[in-house]
Amino acid sequence: MKILEYAEGKGLKAYLDSRALGYIEWYPLFNLSTDPVDAVVVVGGDGTILRTLHLLGDRDTPLVTIRYGKRGFLADVPPYDYAIAIDRLVEGRYVVHEYMRLETRCKGVEGVPYALNEVAVVTSSKARGKVCRLRVMRYHGGHMEGVLSVVGDGVIVATPVGSAAYSLAAGGPLVDPLMRAILVTPLAPISLCSRPVVLPETSTVIVEVSGDSHEVELYVDGVMTALRKPGDSVEVIRAPKPARVIRFFLEDYFSRVLERCL
């Protein structure tokens, strides 16, 4: 409520997403999925930011991210600095960072949102405690080649932003978020030969479920999206539209990662 009131006081027209009406009484309202606005202010943690981007879809609307909670890694505005952020927004004192996202394609599944963090193919909950068998390939420059054979809990295909999330926890490399690359990180492999791989952004990554594997689940930014059976495949490419996030403060990215680990 304070953020909305402060924005109105600075001469901005402030709308509340209709989904939040049960928590805050404010008018006018707008629908995040359909109504055009100049910027969307997100108050919450990383999950809230990711879901907001999923709802925005292909639109170029930039986000102002205000942290609510201790570990909102994607949000750069502390909750007590919202007024500073609004002032700088009005004055044009900010930069817009464009973060690469991933598009997922799989037969029979429609409406899969772009991933800011990662696409994960993991052992189905029905086969908990058992390994899945995956073959990871990449198509690049007119040539198809094998990248990894994974026998384990699954594989994570991540963005540079997502390199600090699930992929990092699985032993993947930490990559500057403004880079353009695709990270492939095996999840709990039983082979010492399965290691993370960094590919060019122009690669098409294909994850194929082997015929002798258990069923697997497809997750996009932590949201269960589809089941894949033996013989099915998942194709991951760079999304045509990046995520656009307004940044107000200079940040030491790698120090932030280390602080989050404490």
- The three-state DSSP-derived secondary structure of 74-93 is CCCECHHHHHHHHHHHHHCC
Q: CB–CB of 132/209 below 8 Å?
A: yes
* Residue-level pLDDT at 230: 95
Q: Which residues pair with 92 in a beta bridge?
A: none
* Residue-level pLDDT at 247: 94
Say if strands 143-152 and 154-158 run parallel, antiparallel, or are unpaired: unpaired
- Residues above pLDDT 70, as percent of the chain: 94
* Alpha helices for 118-212 (secondary structure H): 166-169
Residue 24, pLDDT > 60, answer yes
Q: What angle do CA 83, 89, 90 make, to 5 degrees?
A: 95
pLDDT in tens, 38-71: 999 999 999 999 999 999 999 999 999 999 866 6
pLDDT in tens, 110-147: 999 999 999 999 999 887 778 999 999 999 888 899 99
pLDDT in tens, 213-231: 989 999 999 999 999 999 9
108: number of CA atoms within 13 Å, CB side? 7
Q: What is the pTM of this model?
A: 0.93
Q: Is 150 exposed, middle or buried (0-12, 13-18, 19+ CB in 10 A)?
A: buried
Domains of the chain are 2-100+242-261 (3.40.50.10330), 102-238 (2.60.200.30)
Catalytic residues: 46
Residue 254, pLDDT > 70, answer no
Spatial separation of the C-alpha atoms in residues 157 and 228, rounded to whole Å? 16
